[in-house]
């Protein structure tokens, strides 16, 4: 019984986390952030501009 | 610092053709930072868009231009004329109103027309406007093409004029201060480098013209050298007195609904004294390569 509750809670947490990433973060963005975190990629920022001073 | 260097974060520049689109991209979070008009940044902050001004793009770099053969010799001669401005939310618009007050000209004595900056020179050449006020290189364009004449440089009528400012989304400031610091320091270093040597400015014109602005490098070289103080890239810390003056004029003109405190739309905590930073490079490799290619071709 205790094992079922723990497994259920874990599965629920995983499901909610996956739904959050899917709906709010995006898998591509998460993957990019993970690559930056593990030092596989450099951090990136897009800066908008108009070609006028 | 950029995709062309081996260390630091990567800052990708994304070119836009008008301010509403860049503003929309910023509001939606598709871009984290942008160079936009100073009064526009204030107006966005007033409207609750979570952005902060963290640095300036440059000082001066704007001129009032008239036709070379026109009889307009001073600001008073613009009375009854049509003058193009880049946007209602541009500091250029505020400058024209400030000048009208100085010259005791009643409101509406100059017909101001909003025209996208790249179209200013053509509109002047075609005669649909009598003059225009805009940031470079579109002021110099009419001069270089031989039909325009500078009536005033901002350096002579509103010294240390502010046009574009660097704004950053607040969530980026809260979540990743390091990358904002790196960006601000990068701009400060390159500005210091630009104002150090004439040759640096020529290199920058070559590289920016070819790879970023997609404009004639010769036009940019003209902008950065004739005269050399036409546009400046140092003293880029946002200062309260400068912004309060713009804010008060913007309120008077109805661009802002009411006064807004400097602290509500500016975060100057990323500014470091220029003597503490240095780019540590001399010439730009891409510009040196272009020089070499030209020398080879002329042999």
Q: Dump pLDDT digits (tens) for B64-80.
A: 999 999 999 999 999 99
Non-local (6+) Cβ contacts of B32 within 8 A are: A45, A46, A47, B168, B169, B172
Any idea what the Cα angle at residue B278 is, between residues B275 and B281, rounded to 5°? 150
Determine whether the interchain pair B16/A48 forms a contact, defined as Cβ–Cβ distance below 8 Å: yes
Q: For residue A38, what pLDDT band results from cuts at 50, 70 and 90?
A: confident
Across the interface, whether the CB atoms of B33 and A46 are under 8 A apart is answered yes
pLDDT of B3 above 60: no
Predicted pLDDT at B298: 54
For A53, which of B10, B61, B179 is closest by C-beta distance? Answer: B61
pLDDT of A41: 83
CB contact under 8 A, A44 and B12: yes
B5 pLDDT tier (thresholds 50, 70, 90): low
Q: Is residue A50 within 8 angstroms of chain B, CB to CB?
A: yes
Element (H, E) at B38: helix B38-46
Q: Where are the alpha helices (DSSP H) in chain A?
A: 2-20, 27-37
Q: What is the mean pLDDT of chain B?
A: 92
Query: Which chain A residues in 29-48 lie under 8 Å from chain B, judged by CB atoms?
Result: 42-48
Which backbone phi and psi does B14 adopt, to 5 degrees? -120, 120
All residues at 6 or more sequence positions from B61 whose CB lies less than 8 Å from its CB, including other chains: A53, B135, B136, B154, B161, B163, B223, B230, B231, B232
Closest CA to B172 of B7, B63, B9, B20: B9
Contact B32 A52 (CB under 8 A): no
Chain B positions touching A44 (Cβ under 8 A) are 9-12
Flag whether residue A49 sits within 8 Å of chain B, measured between CB atoms. yes
Residues 6+ apart with CB under 8 A from B87: B19, B37, B40, B93, B114
* Rounded average pLDDT over B217-236: 94
Q: What is the pLDDT of residue B211?
A: 85
More reliable by pLDDT, B232 or A39: B232
C-alpha span between B43 and B258 (Å, rounded): 10
Chain B residue numbers with beta carbons less than 8 Å from the beta carbon of A52 are: 86, 117-118, 134-138, 164
> Which of B5, B7, B16 is best to mutate for the A interface (most A CBs within 10 A)?
B16
Please state, in angstroms and rounded to a whole number, the distance separating the CA atoms of residues B205 and B149. 22
pLDDT-derived band at A43 (thresholds 50, 70, 90) equals confident
Residue appearing with tokens 């804010």: B247
Q: How far apart are CA B14 and CA B35, in angstroms?
A: 10
Contact A45 B58 (CB under 8 A): no
Closest CA to B265 of B53, B101, B81, B79: B53
pLDDT tens track for B261-294:
999 999 999 999 888 887 777 777 766 666 666 6
Q: Of B42, B204, B27, B186, which Cα lies nearest the Cα of A53?
A: B204
Task: Identify the structural domains of chain B with CATH numbers, from first to last.
Answer: 19-60+161-294 (3.40.190.10), 62-157 (3.40.190.10)
Whether residues A47 and B35 touch (CB distance < 8 A) is answered with yes
Mean pLDDT calculated for residue range B35-49? 95
Tell me the C-alpha distance between B35 and B251, whole Å.
22
Find how far residue B93's CA is from the centre of its chain: 14
Average pLDDT score over residue span B119-132: 97
Confidence (pLDDT) at B23: 92
CA dihedral of B179, B180, B182, B187, whole degrees rounded to 10:
140
| A24 reaches B (C-beta below 8 A) | no
Of B272 and B296, more confident: B272
Residue B31: list chain A partners with CB under 8 A: 46-48
Q: Is B86 on the interface with A (CB under 8 A)?
A: yes
Name the band, by pLDDT with cuts 50, 70 and 90, for residue B1.
very low
CA A31 to chain centre: 7
Q: Does B30 touch chain A (CB under 8 A)?
A: yes
């Amino acid at each position: 019984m205790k094992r079922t509750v723990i497994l259920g809670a874990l599965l629920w947490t995983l499901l909610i986390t996956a739904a959050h990433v899917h709906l709010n973060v995006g898998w591509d963005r998460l993957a990019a952030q993970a690559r930056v975190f593990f030092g596989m990629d450099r951090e990136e920022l897009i800066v908008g501009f108009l070609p006028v001073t | 610092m950029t995709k062309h260097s081996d260390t630091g974060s990567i800052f990708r520049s994304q070119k836009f053709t008008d301010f509403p689109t860049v503003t929309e991209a910023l509001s939606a979070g598709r871009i984290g930072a942008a160079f936009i008009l100073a009064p526009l940044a204030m107006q966005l902050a007033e409207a609750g868009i979570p952005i902060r001004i963290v640095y300036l793009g440059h000082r001066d770099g704007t001129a009032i231009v008239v036709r070379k053969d026109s009889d307009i010799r001073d600001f008073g001669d613009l009375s009854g004329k049509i003058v193009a401005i880049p946007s209602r939310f541009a500091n250029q618009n505020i400058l024209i109103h400030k000048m009208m007050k100085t010259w005791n000209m009643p409101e509406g004595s100059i017909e101001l027309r909003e025209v996208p900056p790249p179209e200013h020179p053509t509109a002047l050449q075609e005669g649909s406007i009598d003059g225009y006020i805009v940031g470079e290189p579109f002021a110099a364009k009419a001069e270089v093409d031989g039909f325009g004449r500078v009536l005033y440089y901002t350096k002579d009528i509103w010294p240390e004029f502010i046009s574009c400012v660097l704004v950053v989304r607040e969530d980026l400031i809260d979540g990743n201060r390091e990358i904002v610091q790196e960006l601000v320091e990068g701009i400060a270093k390159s500005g210091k480098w630009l104002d150090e040597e004439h040759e640096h400015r020529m290199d920058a014109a070559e590289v920016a013209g070819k790879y970023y602005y997609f404009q004639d490098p010769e036009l940019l070289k003209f902008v950065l050298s004739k005269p050399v103080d036409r546009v400046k890239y140092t003293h880029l810390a946002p200062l309260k007195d400068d912004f309060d003056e713009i804010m008060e004029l913007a309120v008077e003109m109805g661009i802002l609904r009411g006064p807004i405190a400097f602290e509500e739309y500016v975060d100057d905590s990323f500014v470091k004294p220029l003597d503490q930073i240095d780019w540590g490079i001399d010439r730009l490799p891409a510009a040196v390569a272009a020089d070499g290619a030209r020398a080879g071709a002329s042999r």
